[in-house]
Amino acid sequence: MIMTLMKPVRPSTSQAIPAMLEQTALGTGFALTLADRIAIERLLCNGATLNAPDPLLLTALLRHKLRISRAAREPAAPDLVVAGRVVTYEIEGDGIRSGTLSTSRMPFPNHVLVASLLGATLIGMRALQTGPLLRSDGSVASVTILDIAAPPVEDAA
């Protein structure tokens, strides 16, 4: 008996990412605040994407998001996913989750890092927007933004 192992097919970073994101960008599009643009550029310059399961894919996704996103008005609209806000989202087949979007390089509980495929997808989206979520295994799922909230204020008592 001969067993053949097949390598998963990955989308080409040069063609698949722009095509998928530009389909999503039609209509509502993506918008980034100046602070989020600067944070993404810092993550790219400081090598924060190198620890990702697929650093080339994540780097290409973040660079493309910088290229196609328009400037967000300041202060950011309450329906815009920006760093520091709590995002409730649904991934096709995985259910509803939430976490605070973070531009930190260090993972924290209940935080979604922008330096991840999920975080790079979420940043700049709007409430009720659906878009493609690239996965490190090469598959694509859809993610929908259900709610966006300011981070909870912690009691200093």
Give me the CATH number covering residue 142.
3.10.50.30
pLDDT computed for residue 156 by the predictor = 40
- Domain assignment present for 116: yes
The low-confidence residues of the chain, meaning pLDDT below 70, are 1-28, 154-157
- Domain assignment present for 1: no
Domain count, the chain: 1
pLDDT computed for residue 27 by the predictor = 52
- Dist. CA 65–CA 72, nearest whole Å: 13
Angle between helices 34-45 and 55-68 (to 10 degrees): 150
DSSP code at position 118: H
What are the CA-CA distances from residue 137 to residues 9, 18, 86 (Å)? Answer: 8, 18, 26
- Domain assignment present for 155: no
Q: 98 is in which domain, residue-wise?
A: 16-149
- Domain assignment present for 76: yes
- Domain assignment present for 122: yes
pLDDT computed for residue 64 by the predictor = 96
**Sheet of 140-149: strands edge to edge?**
111-113, 95-102, 86-91, 140-149, 130-134
- Domain assignment present for 117: yes
pLDDT computed for residue 153 by the predictor = 75
- Domain assignment present for 6: no
pLDDT computed for residue 93 by the predictor = 87
pLDDT computed for residue 21 by the predictor = 52
